[in-house]
């Protein structure tokens, strides 16, 4: 039976010590509050700079083939913003300037290919692959077509941003050219726009500015909060187990006149409390700073967006955060209890922490992923999804209920393992040689309390 007074004494003793440890305070309070928002702001600012650079570059387009037939289109391409018509692509141009003289390697020059010259076209494609050219536009008159009828073939490299962008810009020019031609031809025949186009698309976005803001919040905040929760719980978990053993204070603790369950419960609650604190502080910081963080990335569009989290979602978010903190804390403490030093514990816990962060991070990349019955059974991911949907004001209550139940089940299983561990003197005193895997295999699953040895 748990003695709450003793558990509280251990909890307060751990907490008091932790608040005097700089690395714990940094990991649990300062990093969630400041580091991630600042890091994200820097990342988004950098990203928007890179995107801006890509969007504003002038694409090099080579036009080949029947230029006479497509003269009007060619003029529009030449006049288009951020498109530059080039007649040749050179591997080395200005980089090789020596004493004001430009050295051009003629063997690498690709001249504008003439239509039908396959060798020249191949050279153009090679220039695109090499990055000397962004797009090759081939024009060809169609047999039996109208006077302005022309076939356009675009050759680019989809693996390159510049080339994709060039293709998109030329497609826009071609579409505008075609629309202008159809409008003109329709007017000449007395037809309106809808009449000659047969199918007419009108787009309307029913999402409000609040919806868009919450969508962005839902994509970013849950996974960051969960990362913080894991990182915030890791140091205290390792410190309260392996760290104590390394400092030789574990034996001191074992002499306390209380049931060991109370000692472990106090330590466990302390780790879970710090983990929850790290998660919730990060949630608060991210919620308050999201507008500022996203501003460099979204530009003027941010003016129409609202980054507010519905108050009705906060209790659910808090509950799942606490449950996840309890799960992560129990798991990390169990893993670390097999380590003799803090460093050992870091090595043991490191791979698990990576998996706990990476898997949900990958899952959360899919904006359309919903909390299904199956996903409600997958630890951590279920909490991420509940979190994300709650931010968006979506509540799949049966799956939410299942998520809560499954999290509690996982916590119960880990605590059962932790209780089993306390029965083994060699693990408690740090003389056990194996790890968690060996312990589960040798002792729990085989139900052999002596680990294969009978006294």
Partner 1 sequence: MNDPVFVKDLTKTYYDESRGPVHAVRQIGFTCSPGEIFGLLGANGAGKTTTLRMLTTILKPSAGTAKIMGYDVAEEPVEVRRHVGFYSATTALYPRLTARETIEFFARINGYDAARTPARVDELVERFGIEEYARARIDKLSSGMKQKVAIARTLAHDPPILVFDEPTVGLDVINALEMQAILSELKAQGKTILFSTHIMSEAEKLCDRIAIIHEGRILASGTLDALRERTGAHYLEDIFVSFIQEAA
**21 part of the interface to partner 1, by CB under 8 A:** yes
- Among the candidate windows 161-169, 182-190, 338-346, 428-436, which touches partner 1 by CB under 8 A? 428-436
**22 part of the interface to partner 1, by CB under 8 A:** no
**430 part of the interface to partner 1, by CB under 8 A:** no
**10 part of the interface to partner 1, by CB under 8 A:** yes
The residue among 169, 116, 176 whose CA lies nearest residue 140 is 116
Instruction: Give the number of residues in contact with partner 1, rule: CB under 8 A.
Output: 29
- Among the candidate windows 168-176, 274-282, 381-389, 446-454, which touches partner 1 by CB under 8 A? 446-454
The nearest distance, CB 242 to partner 1, in angstroms, is 15
- Among the candidate windows 12-20, 125-133, 223-231, 283-291, which touches partner 1 by CB under 8 A? 12-20
**259 part of the interface to partner 1, by CB under 8 A:** yes
Closer to partner 1 at the Cβ: 266 or 379?
266
**433 part of the interface to partner 1, by CB under 8 A:** yes
The nearest distance, CB 21 to partner 1, in angstroms, is 6
Looking at 2, 4, 16, 184, which residue binds partner 1 (CB under 8 A)? 16
Closer to partner 1 at the Cβ: 15 or 361?
15
Closer to partner 1 at the Cβ: 20 or 203?
20
**451 part of the interface to partner 1, by CB under 8 A:** yes
The nearest distance, CB 281 to partner 1, in angstroms, is 22
Which residues 194-253 are close enough to bind partner 1 by CB under 8 A? Answer: 247-249, 251-252
Please give the C-alpha separations between residue 421 and each of 67, 264, 344, in angstroms, as whole numbers: 81, 11, 18
Cβ atoms of 367 and 454 closer than 8 Å? no
Closer to partner 1 at the Cβ: 11 or 283?
11
Task: Give the footprint of partner 1 on this chain (CB under 8 A).
Answer: 6, 9-10, 13, 16-18, 20-21, 247-249, 251-252, 254-259, 425-426, 429, 431, 433, 450-451, 453, 455
């Amino acid at each position: 039976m748990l003695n709450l007074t003793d558990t509280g004494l251990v909890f307060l003793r751990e907490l008091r010590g932790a608040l005097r440890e700089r690395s714990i305070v940094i990991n649990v309070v300062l990093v969630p509050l400041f580091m991630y928002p600042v890091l994200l702001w820097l990342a988004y600012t950098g990203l928007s700079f890179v995107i801006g650079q890509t969007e504003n570059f002038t694409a090099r387009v080579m036009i080949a083939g029947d230029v006479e037939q497509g003269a009007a289109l060619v003029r529009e391409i030449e006049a288009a913003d951020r498109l530059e018509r080039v007649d040749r692509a050179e591997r080395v141009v200005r980089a090789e300037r020596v004493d004001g003289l430009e050295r051009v390697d003629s063997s690498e020059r690709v001249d504008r290919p003439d239509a039908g010259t396959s060798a020249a076209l191949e050279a153009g494609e090679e220039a695109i692959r090499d990055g000397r050219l962004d797009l090759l536009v081939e024009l060809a008159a169609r047999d039996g077509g109208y006077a302005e009828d022309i076939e356009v073939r675009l050759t680019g490299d989809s693996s390159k941003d510049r080339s994709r962008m060039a293709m998109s810009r030329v497609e826009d020019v071609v579409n505008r050219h075609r629309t202008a031609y159809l409008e003109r031809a329709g007017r000449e025949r007395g037809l309106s726009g809808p009449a000659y186009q047969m199918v007419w698309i009108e787009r309307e976005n029913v999402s409000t500015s609040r919806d868009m803001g919450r969508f962005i919040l839902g994509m970013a905040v849950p996974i960051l909060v969960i990362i913080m929760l894991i990182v915030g719980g890791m140091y205290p978990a390792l410190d309260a187990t392996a760290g104590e053993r390394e400092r030789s204070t574990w034996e001191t603790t074992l002499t306390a006149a209380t049931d060991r369950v109370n000692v472990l419960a106090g330590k466990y609650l302390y780790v879970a409390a710090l983990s929850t604190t790290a998660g919730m502080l990060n949630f608060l910081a991210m919620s308050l700073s999201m507008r500022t963080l996203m501003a460099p990335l979204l530009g003027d569009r941010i003016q129409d967006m609202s980054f507010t989290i519905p108050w009705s979602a906060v209790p659910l978010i808090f509950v799942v955060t606490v449950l996840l903190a309890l799960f992560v804390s129990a798991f990390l403490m169990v893993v670390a209890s097999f380590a003799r030093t803090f460093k050992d514990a870091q090595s043991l816990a490191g791979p698990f922490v990576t998996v706990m962060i990476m898997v949900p991070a990958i899952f959360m990349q899919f904006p359309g992923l919903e909390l299904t019955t199956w996903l409600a059974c997958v630890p951590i991911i279920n909490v991420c999804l509940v979190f994300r949907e709650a931010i968006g004001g979506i509540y799949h209550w049966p799956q939410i209920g299942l998520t809560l139940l499954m999290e509690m089940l996982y916590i119960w299983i880990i605590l059962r393992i932790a209780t089993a561990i306390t029965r083994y003197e060699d693990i408690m005193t740090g003389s056990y040689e194996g790890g968690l895997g060996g312990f589960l295999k040798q002792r729990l699953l085989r139900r052999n309390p002596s680990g294969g040895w009978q006294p």
